[in-house]
A and B are shown apart, each in its own frame.
Chain A
Amino acid sequence: MEITKLSAIELRDEILKRNLSCYEVAKAFIDNIKKYESYNAVLEIFDDALQNAKVMDKKIAEGFNGKLAGMPVIIKDNILYQDKICSCGSNFLKNYKAEYNSTVVKKLIDEGAIILGRANMDEFAMGSSTENSAFGITHNPIAFDRVPGGSSGGSACAVALDMCPISLGTETGGSVRQPASYCGIYGLKPTYGRISRYGVVAFASSLDQVGIFSKTIEDNALMLEVLAGYDENDETSAKVKVDNYTNLDDAIKTKIGVPIEILNMTKGLECEKNFKNFIEFLKQLNLEIVPVSIKNIELALATYYILAPAEATSNLARFDGVKYTSRSLAAKNLQEIYKQSRSQGFGKEVKRRIMLGNYVLSSGYYDAYYNKAKSVQGLLIEQCNEAFKKCDVLVMPTTLGEAYKIGSKPSDPVETYKEDVFTVTANIVGSPSLSIPFGKGKNNLPLGIQLFGKKFDEKTIYSLAKFIQNNIK
């Protein structure tokens, strides 16, 4: 049996049956990380990972049977793991060590996971290709000259190349679903509030969620079951019951909504045909398909690029060279500490979004941008609620098409922002959305489809995804 090809659930079961030791499992995956070093998916293999695996073997021998016993996991570099560097893909934080554990890391450890390392990402999660990392580009696991997507490109690539069975990413506008689509794996953005954000370095607090990459739907569900739930350290985490996701329902009665606006938006895009194929495929499975309307969905992208930078501007202001970030050595006074440290510390895309965010919040522009975007957000929430009266799950493409070539995007950043056109709506309305691998593009590279659910109804989209997974030949 090839350890790194096993699913997370298979691994856990073999480990608990003591057919495999945590140590040999961790070692096998670490060997893979090293083997695929050139992909630059993982920024650091934690030096205590193997030791932790040995300790876990002892605990299991003593009867420990956590849901993730011995499970190797890789986390995105913006999730705090105490005493480990958490750089957010930024030079500014390249030596910053976490002083406490994020709630998700604590949950991973409590359930017995072995955190192998931290994955590359676009700086402060701003980007859709992992080209914006201060620590080099991550390559697409299937086509080396292409991007893996982003911002959680490292985490997606790591799962696709069997460096771990499950990894954690974070989402603000598609940063898990889009790389999942480009790497041919599953990627979930849970309902806003489903997973605690405590200890996850904030990008846009009202949109951020931790997301999950996996090769199977069951693995994804298992991880959500571990991470989900109210956290007293995060007011925005929801006091909503966490379903048993590993015991999924039969999805045959699920009603599928197809937003008519999405059909228009896909016209002429690479994803158009694949999306139609997908709807056909659902029909063949005898699922009921209903047309729905989310009238203002085309405004979602603009709304996102106002709200997210506005919050980011404020969230990133604490990186000022005064406390834990690298301080400019040349600075001679307070103003210079701020200006020089931030100028040297942040990369180009981050600076651009900080500028954008400040602009939309400035007095005189606040109503025209921030407030208007908030109103559109309200409309989109209403329209999605209306749509969900007619269906259980909405479907839409994850990306415009296949993964694009590294360095191929034009210098106009708006062209890159358009990558997020199908994913941002879920963040804006707070719904869960899962990207599942479905179909191939013109270069035979993977494409993804989003299953977009009602708030806190991850179970229905998991059930549907499993149904689809079982029926794909």
Chain B
Amino acid sequence: MQYDVIIGLEVHAELKTKSKCFCSCKNEYGSSPNSNCCPVCVGLPGALPILNKYAVEQTIKAGLALGFEINKTAIFERKNYFYPDLAKAYQISQLEKPICINGHLKVFDKQIPINRIHLEEDAGKLVHEGKETFVDYNRGGVPLIELVTDALKEPHMETADEAIEFLTKLRQIYVYAGIADCELEKGQMRADVNISLKPKGSDKYGTKVEMKNLMGFKSIYSAINYEIARQKEILDDGGVVEQETRKWDFDKGESYTMRTKENAEDYRYFPDPDLLAVNISNEDIERIRKQLPPLPDEIKEKYITQYGLSEYDTDVILADKKIADFYEECILEYDKPKTVANWFTTEILARIKGGAGLGISKENLVWIIRAVDDKKIQRLTAKEFLADIWSKNVDAEAEAKKRGIMADLSSDFVFSILDKVLQEKNEVVTQYKNEKDEKILNFLVGQVMKETKGKANAQEVKEKLKEKLSD
């Protein structure tokens, strides 16, 4: 049987802020356990939360970047449940009046509707050591935004590819807008997926199954395909899909039941009496809108239409904001976007992909690209040179001069070499004059290049040789 697949996403991202959501402790990854803690974020008796206004602004920014309406009054609520990493045994979150409502994100050719983005606090982390378990509350209270897609509205995400594209684009937007760093391996972006299937064309929604513990896009991709197949099989056999929460086992590549509907938690949400309602004015919204930097779709448009880059090159450069920023800096110095882009997609990205950081300064890179364009250095030589000085703290121009790799074809030097080669290879010259064979000419070019240690421009040497040998 044919089915319609409906995929919903709940995406958590840790906001980029200096301090936590409800106290002044540092929002910092990788500090020693429980070093960024205070009475508020470890939930000591009597401690009270104070809302970090910047976290609200960051949430609004996320909303504006995704075309959301911003609620003029937002409230915080308590989500009550017991777990050792949750210091107060409730999480401050938002239910009835989140900061952002009704947004959308374009995935391929679909505008995927998004229900909400709300602000909440992250929980701490359990650390297991042998038989003992410890709690690290450094992450407790870190501001987190949760985005929930609206699976009740059309169009739906229907494939793992679409879900991954959604997440990739969302992540890019958060990173470009400076809202979140979204480093997956640090758990700064996490997603839960829910999936339901219904007979093709049916109006009635199927039973929704939620999947948790999806670490990284690979897990999400596999888990979605696994779940679609699982539900399909059940339905094909005439069975009923149970409403449940399933946990993905990355190593085994399969999911298992975590919670059924019967043991679903009742979070007993109610407005947090410790926090005032947040009033957001139109002035606030406009001020924040002005702070929004250009977003990936807008930049992409510019690269393609103004810079004349291919869509592929654009995507490759924009995939990493650090690279894109570096690219922009370079073309500010050297206004040849396409040429610079070529260097990025061939030389720069290949080097970074290997895990190495950016190993060249803007000044050095621009100098090299310009030198090649000005025919001061041979392209191949330049590429080798770039590899050589990668991660080294040198001045490219001085270094190139020191190494004597700069070309100067017009000089007597190159002519003298040319003459020298013609003299030495007298027999070959005669052979060429008789046969006019291109291969022989290329051999001579090679000899000249060898003598100049690659400093000459091969094309030009060839032209000169041809000229010389034609009379």
Interface of A with B (CB < 8 Å)?
80, 86, 88, 93, 96, 98-100, 102, 197-202, 204-206, 232-236, 310-311, 313-314, 317-320, 322-324, 334, 338, 358, 361-363, 366, 370
Contacts and interface: CB of A to CB of B under 8 A. Distances in A.
Contacts of A322: 84, 135
A235 B268 contact: no
Contact of A361 (B44, B82, B268, B276): B268
Interface string B55-90: 000000000000000000000001010101001111
B221 to A, nearest CB: 33
A320 B270 contact: no
B404 interface: no
A200 B46 contact: yes
A199 B51 contact: no
B88 A235 contact: no
Nearest to A311: B273
Most-contacted residue by chain A among B48, B80, B82 (CB, 10 A): B48
B87 A198 contact: no
B205 to A, nearest CB: 21
Nearest to B51: A235
Nearest to B90: A314
A88 B82 CA distance: 22
Contacts, number: 90
Contact of B273 (A99, A206, A319, A338): A206
B467 to A, nearest CB: 83
Most-contacted residue by chain B among A205, A314, A334, A363 (CB, 10 A): A314
Contact of B45 (A318, A338, A361, A366): A318
A199 B51 CA distance: 17
A232 B87 CA distance: 22
Interface in B15-73: 39, 42-51
Contacts of B39: 99-100
B46 A234 contact: no
A366 B276 CA distance: 21
Contacts of B301: none
Contacts of B44: 99-100, 324
A86 B47 CA distance: 14
B87 to A, nearest CB: 7
A207 to B, nearest CB: 8
B46 A317 contact: no
B46 A201 contact: yes
Interface string B246-269: 000000000000000000001011
Contacts of A200: 46
Given A235-B274, A318-B89, A199 B42 contact: no
Nearest to B85: A322
A412 B51 CA distance: 42
B273 A232 contact: no
A197 B45 CA distance: 11
A338 B135 CA distance: 16
Interface string B272-288: 01111000000000000
Contacts of A317: 80, 82, 88-90
A236 B47 CA distance: 13
A80 B50 contact: no
28 contacts: A80-B45, A98-B46, A102-B46, A197-B46, A198-B48, A200-B46, A201-B46, A202-B45, A205-B273, A206-B273, A233-B48, A235-B50, A235-B274, A235-B275, A236-B273, A236-B274, A236-B276, A313-B268, A314-B89, A314-B268, A314-B270, A318-B43, A319-B45, A324-B44, A338-B82, A358-B268, A362-B268, A366-B270
